[in-house]
Amino acid sequence: MMPKDRIEELRRILHEHNYNYYVLSQPVITDFEFDQLLKELSELEVQFPEFSDPNSPTMRVGSDINKNFKQAKHRYPMLSLQNTYSEGEVADFFNRVKKGLNEEFEIVCELKFDGTSISLIYENKQLVQAITRGDGKQGDVVTDNVRTIRSVPLVLKGDNVPDYVEVRGEVLMPWNVFEELNKEREEQEDPLFANPRNAASGTLKLLDPKVVASRKLDSSLYYLLGENLPSDSHFENMTIARNWGLRVSNAMRKCKSIDEIIDFLKYWDKERKNLPVATDGVVLKVDSLLQQRNLGSTSKFPRWAIAYKFNAEQAVTRLESVSYQVGRTGAVTPVANLEPVLLSGTTVKRASLYNEDAILALDLHIGDNVFVEKGGEIIPKITAVDKESRFMIGDKVTFIKRCPACGTTLVRNEDEAIYYCPNSEECPPQIKGRIEHFVTRKGMNIVVGPETINLLYDKGLIKDAADLYTLQFEDLVHLDRWAETSAKNLIESIGNSKSVPFERVLFALGIRFVGETVAQKLALAFHDIDNLANASIEQLTSVEEIGERIAQSVVEYFSNPKSLDFVNRLKLQNLQFSLSEDAMALKTDKLKGVTIVISGTFELHSRDEYKAMILQNGGKNSGSVSKSTDFILAGDNMGPVKLEKAEKLGVKIIDENKFLKMIE
């Protein structure tokens, strides 16, 4: 596979996993597997800067923002932590800190509880706001739900509490509550939560605080922020915070050497299995707040902290059968069905087998005893077969030849490991997958989940996304477990989607290789759907950053009579298939031929809004600084790597006020 193709494939995969993780709270791969994919993409983007994309997963943090909640900006950005998986990487971190500070320092080791991040704001000792992590800059206000968590104090105790203090931590679901919740969901035939973290995240986003209260969530708090903190020592601050009534773990230790840190890691790798809540690692932080500020942060990670992830746990169980799942693109994924086994606190019944090559490498037979591992304590996988224990095994596992959903003969491209079902027009899982893509937040933003889409399709109420617009209140209110409010909300959400702008409608169509950025460029270049549908490959490739493969895909889409019929049916429902007059009026060539890198946080507009302005005025967004960069649009906390490279190359840096004057 060519580097550009692999980069685009990785971006597509990671965007999908980000959505599964942060929005749906339904991850399908482990943290480690996600980190490895992200690392591969990051290395390729450095190696091939000509394929940079400002919307790459490496340029942002995933978002858990839920449109049903009000959003609030974080006074202090909620950065993620860089993950490490070995003692050697921990030693590297320690030595980097030592070199960066060139003075005595201490490292605080504390357990990394596996929950969903929260920021609690106290003013005059009173809890006034609770905000989820969101995209790191802003998050959902979930104060009413957090008030139901008994371990979160509504009023702080003590005399030395600052007038304003922000407390960062995790909302957790204990193992026993998690098991009981999944047992209830299984009895009601509802989808099971993958792990306590996702159960906690999903619970925190429920609209009814009474239901949240019934879930018995817990908390663990690990960091204080504010102007007048009691001490320069993080360790002392958390000890004091415990006296204020905040739930702070006792599993904290100050270390002065790598040996002391390694001792802490080894102790808790075993002892954590006795804890009532899930943990997935240890966080290492420089103790002095002054030293933390001196070390600073990159655009994504603090330099003064790092997360060490525990090695995956293993169990041995029996392979009972193999089933196959079909995705939106037609990709067929094998899944191992296992004899239930307890692993990392949960009962495992299924494991991913990835593709045919993985099955052949394992030499799997039905009845084999297999080693199962949970890398990030989410979706398990088979890592090996216990061949010595084979006795009376069944047939050798071979990849199916026909689609399990529609019976079509599968195909496999020479340069890929995945089999596809080519029957995209009639294969039910592919159709449902396209509908799910159509309704996403970056598409039509229709609030409807996969379970509801399945129900509507199976009942014959929809055959594709266009049928959503013909649904009636009476169609929905009589469905099982549906009430008038649910039916009314869905009809209202579908109606609201008719105002979604053209570029997002274009993205929602699901044209292969037409992602969010490409859809914006095509919309600005061709103005309406008819011009785009009639465009030749030459006209398409004349648009900046639109290559042969994207152009060919667009032409093929609009050459398909079924695609044209789908678009025409959407036109009849008055969706936005042309740029608005406002967007047309704002379209200029003021930045034509200008390449701009955005870095930092801004006051007047969001980064996404600035990216849209650059495109609107004919400019090009870039994710990395190079000789071709004309200038950097910089806000607060500009990435130090970008700043260093800009100074080295002599690239001009401007603030948002100067930029806005440029495009007035």
If you ran DSSP here, which 8-state letter would residue 381 be given? Answer: E
Alpha carbon distance 345, 11 (integer Å): 32
Give the Å distances, CA to CA, from 433 to 332, 362, 465, 556. 13, 30, 10, 20
Buried b (16+ CB within 10 A) or exposed e, 532-556: bbebeeebbbebeebeeebbeebee
Q: Cβ distance 121 to 304 under 8 Å? A: no
CA atoms within 13 A on the CB side of 647: 6
- Report which of 174, 74, 172 is spatially closest to residue 130, judged by C-alpha positions: 74
Q: Which residues contact 664 (CB under 8 A, 6 or more apart)?
A: none
**What angle, rounded to 10 degrees, do the helices at 3-18 and 31-47 form?**
140
Q: Cβ distance 142 to 201 under 8 Å? A: no
CA angle 372-378-379, nearest 5°? 55
Longest dimension (CA), the chain: 77
Q: Cβ distance 111 to 265 under 8 Å? A: no
Q: Cβ distance 224 to 217 under 8 Å? A: no
Alpha carbon distance 660, 664 (integer Å): 6
AA identity, residue 353: L
Buried b (16+ CB within 10 A) or exposed e, 468-487: bbebeeebbeeeeeeeeeeb
Q: Cβ distance 64 to 139 under 8 Å? A: yes
Helix residue ranges, H only, 102-167: 143-146
Q: Cβ distance 296 to 303 under 8 Å? A: yes
Alpha carbon distance 590, 663 (integer Å): 7
AA identity, residue 350: R
Specify whether 112 is catalytic.
Answer: yes
Q: How many CB atoms lie within 10 A of CB 136?
A: 18
State the distance between the two ends of the chain, measured CA to CA, in whole angstroms: 44
Alpha carbon distance 20, 267 (integer Å): 33
- As given in the structure block, the two tokens for residue 66 are 């839920």
Q: Cβ distance 595 to 630 under 8 Å? A: yes
Q: Which residues pair with 502 in a beta bridge?
A: none
Which residue in the list 4, 99, 112, 658 is annotated as catalytic? 112
Catalytic residues: 112
